[in-house]
Amino acid sequence: MTSRWWFYPALVVLVLPLLPILLLVFASIVTYPTLPSLETLTDYRPKMPLRVFSAEGTLIGEFGEERRELVKIEDVPEMMKKAILAAEDDRFYEHGGVDYIGVLRAAYSNFTSGGVRQGASTITMQVARNFFLSKEKTLSRKFNEMLLSFKIEHNLTKDEILQLYVNHIYLGQRSYGFASAAQIYFAKSLNQLSLAEMAMLAGLPKAPATFNPVVNPERAKVRQMYVLRRMHDLGYITNQQFEQAENEPIVTKQSNHRQEFAVHAGYVAEMVRQEMYDRYQEDAYTQGFSVYTTIRVKDQAAAYAAVRKGVMDYDHRHGYRGPEGYVDLKKNNTDELLDEALEDVPDSDDIIPAVVLSINPKGIRVHCKGGQVVEIRGEGLRFAQQTLGTKLALNHRIRVGSLIRVYKNENDFWEITQLPQIESAFVSANPRDGAIYALVGGFDFYNNQFNHVTQAWRQPGSSFKPFIYSAALEKGFTPASIINDAPLVIDLSQTGEELWQPKNYEGGFDGPMSMRQGLIRSKNLVSIRILQAIGVGYAQDYVTKFGFDKDKIKPFLTMALGAGSVTPMQLLGGYSVFANGGYRVLPYFIQRIEDGQGKVVAQAAPVVAGEGAERVIDVRNAFTMVNMMQDVVKHGTAMRAMELGRQDLAGKTGTTSDSMDAWFAGFHPTLVAITWIGYDNPQSLGEKETGGGAALPIWMSYMGKMLKDVPEIEYTVPDHIVTARINDKGLRDPNGSRTEYFYEENLPAEQGEAPPEGAKPAETNDQLF
């Protein structure tokens, strides 16, 4: 026994150096079974935002805390993968989850630099940390991270791990994953990125806020160059590629606190968001629903441009109101300080806030939000000069430090402009099934979220008259019926308010005229006499067939002039009845809803005119009204629309009392569209502002683009409609001046024919003659 006294000390000497390793093995054996299950990775279901698409599949809206776009690893460009590996883990395909060589290299680098300059986390370790662990810097968390990395590497392929990383990593601006970041920073898909842009994105995981190319372009450039040098050192790119990427200017999608999409459809996207929240509550924002709308990209773009131009044209007709404010250039004397001063001033698409830097006899020099400095001269000053008068006055009103608005026009030169105070709405649809093709709820969704298409209850003015005329056709009136355009005094019992002496827009009276002429010329007294004849109660009930709310259309004679309340969406449905031959269709904007796995969970099933939709007016009524409204376009208050060079357009202008609201509601057999313009707090648009002058040009701009290559369509005359020559008294006359359409049972008497026994002589008929 004594001869072996050395055995135990020797055993201690041998085992002691191995103790840490043994303890580590023991800890691993104990800890490994308690590690989280990898189901989160193998059945990867991240919080996916609600995404809204056009009918063609173009993204037009997105909602959710995390903005993501999942991609398969095989769809990631090879150069994008190399940029990521160069920046984060160039030995990714060689190590088993922990890169010991990388650890030694990082330790050496940090020791020689005197600080922590390099980390040793592999991509696998980052996946483990981002999915399962906190970011606290403790020994136990790092130990668990390494064990998890081994577990991940044992259960997933390298490509599966890289795919998780590419889709899950946070890259700033609420973007998760490189596909989402490519859209947010550069408005591009991954396969559209240049090498320089890929390197910029690959540098973001280390510190997304610090290297954000929108907020910190200088620091982002430094990080980008690090990635490019690593790619060059690793042999991923050539000298020429390196130099080209180094010198390529990076143009980011500037942050203006709004998310940009292929088309401006903010109001539509918000309608979808509200509908989805009503259906799915908070799950709407996290389960990856995709909503495909009926909106067509070309229609939406045309409608948006038409509304913007129409509103700006109106605004310019009423003069420049002067600067919005002033910025003290003594305190804001650098580009950075000027940018800060402009940061909270909202822009509006191409209408940009700017500060005047200098004024000289030739023009002004301004600093625009975003940093660009531009000169405005000549034509660019005209709008402001028209209101402000002489150059001296211009200098007095617009001075150095003035906060103004500028934009670059279609001729590529800068102009002074201003944000309009007026609002507008536009909506179009297929009249056969109600599918909405374009919807613009206001001038700028980001500055005013009130949706004037669906939420604005306004008086429709004369655009409501066709519904009264349609009711009259069912009471025996014809387009040839003669009604007297003469003064009326109407008492309280018939108006619901006070003694009323209605007038025509132009002020005068033209005596007896046909119902057709009354509509063409939008004669108020003609409409009122028609309503007197058919009865306000009957008319109130009748117009509900078109989708109007009975309680919003009061049973008084003022109804004849559109004194009730409607929304543009309701007017869209109402005019669709005329355009489709008499059927009630409901406007809709969601085609289908898909869940996060692409399964269709809801599908629109609209009723179609002639195929299940309810017929609400006689086809003869619809045809007659369309025919009369065609004449409104050809010869009446909407004659300006003939500039489109088409014979198949129909519609009606609308201008309310004191020009508070201006409308145009019109259609083609395949497309119906409604335009409104007015102030949110109702006030006069101006003495000469009418539906034909303010609203119709918006409608024309849209229709001109949408119908450019569409052949003209001739409306089919339905059965039991007959034609006859009539004279100026509305009687059948072979030598009459014009041909008119009639229901076959409502043919007027022939000239010289004795009236039926007991009939009231025409000359004394106060209501109709």
| Cα–Cα separations (whole angstroms), residue 59 to 279, 326, 687, 692 | 21, 39, 42, 35
Name the token pair of 545. Answer: 């067939």
Instruction: Examine the pLDDT at 480 and tell me if it is beyond 60.
Output: yes
The answer to whether residue 435 scores a pLDDT higher than 80 is: yes
563 neighbors 554 (Cβ within 8 angstroms)? yes
Q: How far apart are CA 410 and CA 280, in angstroms?
A: 44
Rounded Cα–Cα distance for residues 193 and 79 (Å): 10
Q: What angle do CA 651, 654, 658 make, to 5 degrees?
A: 170
Distance CA 497, CA 489 (A): 13
Mean pLDDT, residues 614-619: 97
Residue 107 predicted with pLDDT over 80? no
Task: Inform me whether the pLDDT recorded for 100 exceeds 70.
Answer: no
pLDDT (0 to 100) of residue 754: 59
Q: Where are the strands (E) in 215-362, listed by range?
A: 290-293, 325-326, 352-360
Active-site annotation holder among 88, 153, 423, 740: 88
Question: At residue 570, does pLDDT exceed 50?
Answer: yes
The percentage of residues in the chain with a pLDDT greater than 90, rounded to a whole number, is 61
Whether the predicted pLDDT of 142 surpasses 60: no
Output the pLDDT for position 40: 56
CA distance 227 to 486: 83
pLDDT recorded at residue 619: 97
Backbone φ and ψ for 601, nearest 5 degrees, come out as -110, -10
Q: Residue 568 pLDDT more than 90?
A: yes
Out of 121, 462, 463, 576, the active site residue is 462
Residue 753 reports pLDDT greater than 60: yes
494-538 tens-digit pLDDT? 655 667 788 888 778 889 999 999 999 999 999 999 999 999 999
Q: Which amino acid is at 397?
A: R
Helix (H) or strand (E) holding 726: strand 721-726
The answer to whether residue 237 scores a pLDDT higher than 70 is: yes
pTM: 0.83
**Does the pLDDT of residue 134 top 60, yes or no?**
no
DSSP string, 150-217: HHHHHHS-HHHHHHHHHHH-B-STTEESHHHHHHHHHS--GGG--HHHHHHHHTSTT-TTTT-TTT-H
Measure the CA dihedral 362/368/373/376, to 10°. -20
Q: Please determine, for residue 266, whether its predicted confidence score (pLDDT) is greater than 80.
A: yes
Average pLDDT over residues 642-657: 96
Span 181-204, pLDDT tens digits:
998 898 889 999 999 999 999 999
Which has more confidence, 215 or 602? 602
Residue 394's pLDDT is 53
The one-letter amino acid at 578:
F
- Residue among 194, 203, 204 nearest 241 (CA): 194
CA distance 242 to 306: 45
Tell me which of 87-91, 608-612, 661-665 is least confident. Answer: 87-91
Q: Is the pLDDT of residue 60 over 60?
A: yes
For the chain, which domains are there?
1-34 (no CATH), 66-247 (1.10.3810.10), 290-417 (2.40.50.140), 721-764 (no CATH)
* First-to-last C-alpha distance (Å) of the chain: 140
Name residue 365's beta-bridge partners: 358, 375
The reply to whether 88 belongs to the active site is yes
- 253 vs 301 pLDDT, higher one: 301
pLDDT at residue 29 above 50?
no
pLDDT band at residue 633 under the 50/70/90 scheme: very high
Mean pLDDT of 85-114: 69
d(C-alpha 361, C-alpha 380), whole Å: 14
pLDDT at residue number 25:
47
Residue 32 has pLDDT above 50, yes or no: no
More confident of the two residues 65 and 242:
242
Q: Look at residue 339 in the predicted model and tell me its pLDDT.
A: 83
Q: Name the pLDDT band for 118 (thresholds 50, 70, 90).
A: very low
The Cα–Cα gap between 183 and 84 comes to 17
Instruction: Report percent pLDDT > 70 for the chain.
Output: 84
Task: Report how far apart, in Å, the C-alpha atoms of 710 and of each of 56, 231, 265, 648, 703 are.
Answer: 20, 54, 25, 11, 11
Query: Is the model's pLDDT at 102 over the cut of 60?
Result: no
Residue 399: pLDDT band by 50, 70, 90 thresholds? confident
To the nearest whole number, what is the mean pLDDT of the chain? Answer: 86
pLDDT-based confidence at 10, cuts 50/70/90? Answer: low
The pLDDT of residue 515 is 97
Is the Cβ–Cβ distance between 731 and 709 less than 8 Å?
no
Q: Residues 227, 232, 237, CA angle at the centre, nearest 5°?
A: 105
Range in 89-103, 268-282, 311-325, 364-378 with the lowest mean pLDDT:
89-103
Please indicate whether residue 470 is annotated as part of the active site.
no
Q: For the residues 169-173, what does the mean pLDDT come to?
A: 89
Q: Give the model's pLDDT for residue 184.
A: 87
Per-residue HEC secondary structure of 96-131 comes to CCCCHHHHHHHHHHHHHHCCCCCCCCCHHHHHHHHH
Q: What is the pLDDT of residue 7?
A: 59
667-723 pLDDT per residue, tens: 999 999 999 999 999 999 998 899 999 999 999 999 999 999 999 999 999 999 999
Burial 594-610 (b: 16+ CB within 10 A, else e): bbeeeeeebebebbbbe
